[in-house]
């Protein structure tokens, strides 16, 4: 993920809708300098390039205690190199300025890329402490680079004759970063900007830590198993284990996930338990205790506005959308409003169906958010005769991976995979694969981390450990992280169809990383605007339901029988079910984000809960049973992660995805020819060209909203 103000520092919360990509892009900092190295740093695993294939991290050697010295040394070297670029007496050239920047910061880059992956997926108090300690240091370091007017002036003076298109794009991207960071500001303004950035970095880390604690503490403890009627034996076993792990032996613990809705709500028959779990989720971070996030996020919103003002922009949203495909908050809000009206209308139809079912059972109550998924599941069964527990046995996680996700990639792109149990991993459950291109050449290393842990952030995401770059001679080393329930020992991991879709989604990001073909890491692979980055992942979701793929991977885990056609038909028919609900919860969350960051004057701020209520009312999100996917106090994407004024990006990517799939289906569907075309124009270009242009080259037109509304079932 591209991060304007922070290249080295990357906030560690890679949560997503079903995901997000996080990119601790190590593009700015610098070269090793042996003169500065003492003996102890020379034995640090980040000091030199890893000796493993494609410089895959040496997890068998890396210790928590290695990060601090690697950071300190990396920062010192980096500072010296930045100074050298700024003070170079020679006339500025592409080589002595842009390439010098691109070649810098290698030690810091290696260390931070591993570090921020670990703080997201396998953290501990030591790493959390280092993360908090270094957040302001990295922010300040970043400012030293991007607020450096000598370097900025050099960049502006570079003669561009003889440079190729990718060189020119790299200059453009660096120039934009310096501009957006405030390199054009006066010295007094820069001092203010540095202060704001340091405060923001600290506040984001504080927010993330509070939220992690709030999520842990928000878990619901149940002593009487009768209150958990409806949960499967596996779900009960997991709840029992979670309770034991948190020191409540003999009880059951319902652990919170990061979203408003909690998966167990679908199965819990006891309405009081459902209400308890939902409220534990909704109120998790607004209890007035040490983990209440409201004061922190209000400070973040205010500081972001002040930062935008300093840059001469009306709002943070305006500032943050300058380098995006959408360009302006108005364009983004226009897309959201085109979706909101049909989505809410559809959710009302779904609500009526659910209420009718409750009434037919003499429920005697009005549907509330904690009832929605429980009854929606029954409506789905009645309407489509589809039972989640009937289909789960066909989705064993490893089979879905190898015979589904990998199979689709082989059919469409011609690539193949080989498991690499010899490569060291950061946690015993992590698996490693090597990826081979259509001509059999090895192209990437790919890790998978499937199961949820209490020291892992919620959601699912993709990330690079090593970025592809011809300049550096590096190939992509990539990880996908998920939060699937870990099965009891000896049991298979059977996942829902939603989880299956998430696997295809995350792998779409991985393909975007694996097919990267750029000279420069800064504009390689998934280092693209936020409103483009979800496009490759979302389009890969289509393969989950592609008949030839589905038949290959959906095998009953005991008998290996393929899924019956009747069930396939039902899954396809049911795939648009509840789309009114899910689109409304996403679009309302995106609208909240955009409005928090569209504030142009301090007087427009209100206390968190009041602000949220007003926005939802103003934009027509009035269905009480359909709350936003993230309630402001736990909206980690925007307060702790890199999605501020950017959550709409998922919907922007959605627009591209539907339009592109429309193109593919009209040109023969899942053919190698289409796969090669998509790879050539979309997956392999990184950010090496204007992506509005790249899209048009692929689809031979600009995207329109009609295919998206059709995919969602909002139009016929
Ligand atoms: Zn994603």
Q: Give the model confidence (pLDDT) of 621-634 as tens digits.
A: 999 999 999 999 99
Spacing, Cα 501 to ligand 1 middle (Å): 11
Above pLDDT 70, what percent of the chain? Answer: 95
What is the helix (H) or strand (E) element at residue 664, kind and residue range? helix 649-666
Instruction: Measure Cα distances from 709 to 134, 291, 712 in Å.
Output: 45, 40, 5
Whether the predicted pLDDT of 21 surpasses 50: no
Residue 340 CA to residue 344 CA, distance in Å, equals 6
Spacing, Cα 117 to ligand 1 middle (Å): 16
Spacing, Cα 580 to ligand 1 middle (Å): 21
Spacing, Cα 196 to ligand 1 middle (Å): 29
| Average of per-residue pLDDT across 669-688 | 97
Spacing, Cα 210 to ligand 1 middle (Å): 24
Spacing, Cα 224 to ligand 1 middle (Å): 38
Q: What is the pLDDT of residues 46-94, one digit of tens each?
A: 999 999 999 999 999 999 999 999 999 999 999 999 999 999 999 999 9
Determine whether 486 is exposed, middle or buried from the number of CB atoms within 10 Å of its CB (0-12, 13-18, 19+): middle
Spacing, Cα 176 to ligand 1 middle (Å): 25
The pLDDT value recorded for residue 33 is 44
Q: What is the pLDDT of residues 86-135, one digit of tens each?
A: 999 999 999 999 999 999 999 999 999 999 999 999 999 999 999 999 99
Spacing, Cα 642 to ligand 1 middle (Å): 13
The pLDDT value recorded for residue 257 is 92
The pLDDT value recorded for residue 119 is 95
Q: What is the pLDDT of residues 142-197, one digit of tens each?
A: 989 999 999 999 999 999 999 999 999 999 999 999 998 889 899 999 899 889 98
Spacing, Cα 17 to ligand 1 middle (Å): 7
Report phi then psi at 259, rounded to 5: -80, 165
Spacing, Cα 653 to ligand 1 middle (Å): 10
Give me 233's structure tokens: 């034996």
Output Rg (C-alpha) for the chain, integer angstroms: 25
The pLDDT value recorded for residue 716 is 64
Active site residue 506: yes
Spacing, Cα 534 to ligand 1 middle (Å): 5
Q: What is the pLDDT of residues 463-482, one digit of tens each?
A: 999 999 999 999 999 999 99
Above pLDDT 90, what percent of the chain? Answer: 84
Spacing, Cα 459 to ligand 1 middle (Å): 10
CB 409 within 8 A of CB 507: yes
The pLDDT value recorded for residue 528 is 95
Spacing, Cα 675 to ligand 1 middle (Å): 20
Spacing, Cα 22 to ligand 1 middle (Å): 10
DSSP SS3 for 562: strand
Residue 474 CA to residue 400 CA, distance in Å, equals 30
The pLDDT value recorded for residue 641 is 75
CB environment 136-174: b (16+ within 10 A), e (fewer)? bbbbbbbbbbbbbbebbebbbebeeeebeebbebbbebb
Residue 511 CA to residue 587 CA, distance in Å, equals 27
Handedness of CA 60, 63, 68, 73 (dihedral sign): negative
Average pLDDT of the chain is 92
What is the 8-class DSSP label of residue 65?
G
Spacing, Cα 662 to ligand 1 middle (Å): 20
The pLDDT value recorded for residue 618 is 94
DSSP SS3 for 477: strand
Report phi then psi at 634, rounded to 5: -125, 30
Spacing, Cα 295 to ligand 1 middle (Å): 29
Spacing, Cα 25 to ligand 1 middle (Å): 17
Spacing, Cα 507 to ligand 1 middle (Å): 9
Global pTM?
0.82
What is the 8-class DSSP label of residue 405?
I
Tell me the sheet residues that pair with 436. Answer: 416, 442
The pLDDT value recorded for residue 38 is 66
The pLDDT value recorded for residue 17 is 28
Spacing, Cα 510 to ligand 1 middle (Å): 10
CB 304 within 8 A of CB 600: no
Spacing, Cα 703 to ligand 1 middle (Å): 20
Whether the predicted pLDDT of 10 surpasses 90: no
Spacing, Cα 445 to ligand 1 middle (Å): 19
Q: What is the pLDDT of residues 576-595, one digit of tens each?
A: 889 999 999 999 999 999 99
Spacing, Cα 500 to ligand 1 middle (Å): 14
What is the 8-class DSSP label of residue 548?
H
Closest CA to 297 of 205, 176, 430: 205
CB 436 within 8 A of CB 416: yes
* Least trusted range by pLDDT, from 18-32, 243-257, 328-342, 393-407: 18-32
Residue 704 CA to residue 716 CA, distance in Å, equals 16
Catalytic residue among 506, 579, 585, 612: 506
The pLDDT value recorded for residue 211 is 96
The pLDDT value recorded for residue 242 is 95
CB 688 within 8 A of CB 166: yes
pLDDT confidence bin for 11, thresholds 50/70/90: very low
Give me 41's structure tokens: 């740093």
Spacing, Cα 20 to ligand 1 middle (Å): 4
| Average of per-residue pLDDT across 282-294 | 98
Spacing, Cα 505 to ligand 1 middle (Å): 6
């Amino acid at each position: 993920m591209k991060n304007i103000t922070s290249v080295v520092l990357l906030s560690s919360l890679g949560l997503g809708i079903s995901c997000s990509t996080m990119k601790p892009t190590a593009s700015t900092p610098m070269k090793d300098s042996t003169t500065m190295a003492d003996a102890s740093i020379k034995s640090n695993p980040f000091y030199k390039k890893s000796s493993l294939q494609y410089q895959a991290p040496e997890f068998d050697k890396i210790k928590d205690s290695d990060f601090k010295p690697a950071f300190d040394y990396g920062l010192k070297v980096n500072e010296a190199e930045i100074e050298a670029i700024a003070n170079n007496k020679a006339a500025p050239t592409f080589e002595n300025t842009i390439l010098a920047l691109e070649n810098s910061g290698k030690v810091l880059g290696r260390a931070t890329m591993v570090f921020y992956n670990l703080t997201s997926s396998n953290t501990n108090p030591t790493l959390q402490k280092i993360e908090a300690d270094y957040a302001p240091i990295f922010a300040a370091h970043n400012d030293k680079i991007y607020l450096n007017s000598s370097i900025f002036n050099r960049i502006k003076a570079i003669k561009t004759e003889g440079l190729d298109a990718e060189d020119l794009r790299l200059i453009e991207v660096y120039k934009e970063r310096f501009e957006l960071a405030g390199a054009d500001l006066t010295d007094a303004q820069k001092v203010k900007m540095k202060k704001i950035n340091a405060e923001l970095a600290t506040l984001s880390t504080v927010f993330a830590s509070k939220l992690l604690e709030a999520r842990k503490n928000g878990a619901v403890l149940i002593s009487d198993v009768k209150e958990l009627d409806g949960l499967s034996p596996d779900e009960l076993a997991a709840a029992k284990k979670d309770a034991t792990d948190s020191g409540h032996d003999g009880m059951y613990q319902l652990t919170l996930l990061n979203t408003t809705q909690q998966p167990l709500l679908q199965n819990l028959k006891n309405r009081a338990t459902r209400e308890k779990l939902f409220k534990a989720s909704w109120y998790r971070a607004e209890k007035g205790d040490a983990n209440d996030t409201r004061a922190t996020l209000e400070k973040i919103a205010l500081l972001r506005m002040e930062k935008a003002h300093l840059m001469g922009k009306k709002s943070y949203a305006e500032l943050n959308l300058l380098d995006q495909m959408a360009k302006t908050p108005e364009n983004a809000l226009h897309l959201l409003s085109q979706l909101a009206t049909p989505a809410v209308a559809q959710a009302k139809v779904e609500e009526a169906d659910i209420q009718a079912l409750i009434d037919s059972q003499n429920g005697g109550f009005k549907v509330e958010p904690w009832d929605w998924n429980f009854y929606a599941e029954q409506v789905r069964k009645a309407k489509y005769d589809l039972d989640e527990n009937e289909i789960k046995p066909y989705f064993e996680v490893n089979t879905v991976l190898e015979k589904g996700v990998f199979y689709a990639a082989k059919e469409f792109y011609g690539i193949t995979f080989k498991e690499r149990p010899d490569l060291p991993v950061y946690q015993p459950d992590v698996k490693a694969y090597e990826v081979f291109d259509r001509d059999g050449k090895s192209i990437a290393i790919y890790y998978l981390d499937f199961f949820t842990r209490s020291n892992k952030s919620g959601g699912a995401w993709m990330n690079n450990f090593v970025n592809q770059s011809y300049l550096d001679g590096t190939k992509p080393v990539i990880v996908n992280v998920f939060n699937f329930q870990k099965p009891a020992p000896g049991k298979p991991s059977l996942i829902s169809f939603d989880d299956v879709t998430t696997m295809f989604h995350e792998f779409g990001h991985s393909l975007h990383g694996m097919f990267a073909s750029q000279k420069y890491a800064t504009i390689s692979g998934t280092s693209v605007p936020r409103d483009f980055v979800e496009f490759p992942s979302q389009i890969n979701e289509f393969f989950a339901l592609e008949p030839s793929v589905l038949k290959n991977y959906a095998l009953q885990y005991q008998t290996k029988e393929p899924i019956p056609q009747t069930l396939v038909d039902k899954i396809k028919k049911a795939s648009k079910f509840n789309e009114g609900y899910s689109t409304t919860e996403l679009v309302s969350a995106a609208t909240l984000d955009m409005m928090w960051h569209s504030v142009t004057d301090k007087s427009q701020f209100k206390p968190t809960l009041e602000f949220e209520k007003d926005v939802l009312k103003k934009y027509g999100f009035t269905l009480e049973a359909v709350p936003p996917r993230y309630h402001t106090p736990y909206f980690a994407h925007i307060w702790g992660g890199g999605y501020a004024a950017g959550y709409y990006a998922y919907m922007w990517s959605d627009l591209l995805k539907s339009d592109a799939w429309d193109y593919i289906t009209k040109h023969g569907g899942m053919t190698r020819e289409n796969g090669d075309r998509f790879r050539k124009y979309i997956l392999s270009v990184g950010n090496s060209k204007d992506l509005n242009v790249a899209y048009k080259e692929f689809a031979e037109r600009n995207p329109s909203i009609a295919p998206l509304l059709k995919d969602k079932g909002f139009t016929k």
